[in-house]
Amino acid sequence: EKPLQMQPEFIYPRNNTVEVELGSHLVMECNISSGINGLIPFWQVNDEDVDIFDETYREQFYEEGLPHGLAVSGTKFNISKVKVKDYAHKFFCHFIYGSQQFTAYIKLEYPARNIQGYLIGGGVSLVFFVFFTLFIYKIFKIDIVLWYRDSCHPFLGKKVSDEKIYDAYVLYPKNRESCLYSSDIFALKILPEVLERQCGYNLFILGRDDLPGEAVISVADEKIRQSRRVIIVLVPEPSCYSILEDESEKQLAIHSALIQDGIKVILIELEKIQDYATMPESIRYIKQKHGVIRWKGDFSERSHSASTRFWKKVRYQMPSRKSGSLSRLHL
- Considering the domain architecture, whether residues 302 and 188 belong to the same structural domain is answered as yes
Q: What is the domain extent for residue 21?
A: 9-109
Question: Residue 253's pLDDT is what?
Answer: 52
> Is there a domain that residue 115 lies in?
no
Question: Residue 158's pLDDT is what?
Answer: 60
Nearest to 162 by CA among 218, 257, 229, 210: 229
- Considering the domain architecture, whether residues 223 and 292 belong to the same structural domain is answered as yes
Q: How far apart are CA 264 and CA 232, in angstroms?
A: 11
Question: Residue 305's pLDDT is what?
Answer: 85
Domain final residue pick, 109, 137, 155: 109
> Is there a domain that residue 66 lies in?
yes
Its pTM stands at 0.60
> Is there a domain that residue 259 lies in?
yes
Nearest to 204 by CA among 245, 269, 254, 262: 254
Rounding to the nearest 10 degrees, give the CA dihedral for residues 51, 55, 56, 60: 30
Provide the domain count of the chain: 2
Q: How far apart are CA 16 and CA 28, in angstroms?
A: 12
Cα-based angle 67, 69, 72 (whole degrees, multiple of 5): 80
Residues 91-132: tens digit of each pLDDT: 999 999 888 899 999 999 999 877 887 888 889 999 999 999
Which residues contact residue 136 at a Cβ distance below 8 angstroms, ignoring those fewer than 6 apart? none
- pLDDT mean across residues, the chain: 82
Question: Residue 329's pLDDT is what?
Answer: 52
Number of residues written out for the chain: 331
- Considering the domain architecture, whether residues 186 and 301 belong to the same structural domain is answered as yes
Q: Is 72 exposed, middle or buried (0-12, 13-18, 19+ CB in 10 A)?
A: middle
The 227-234 sheet, strands edge to edge: 203-205, 166-171, 227-234, 264-269, 292-294
- Considering the domain architecture, whether residues 181 and 315 belong to the same structural domain is answered as yes
Question: Residue 273's pLDDT is what?
Answer: 85
> Is there a domain that residue 20 lies in?
yes
Q: How far apart are CA 167 and CA 172, in angstroms?
A: 16
Question: Residue 196's pLDDT is what?
Answer: 93
3-state secondary structure of 156: coil
CATH number for the domain harbouring residue 54: 2.60.40.10
Low-confidence ranges of the chain (pLDDT < 70): 1-5, 153-160, 175-181, 237-262, 299-303, 322-331
Residues 17-53: tens digit of each pLDDT: 999 999 999 999 999 988 777 788 999 999 999 999 9
45, 53 Cβ separation under 8 angstroms? yes
Q: Which residues are catalytic?
A: 249
- Considering the domain architecture, whether residues 185 and 93 belong to the same structural domain is answered as no
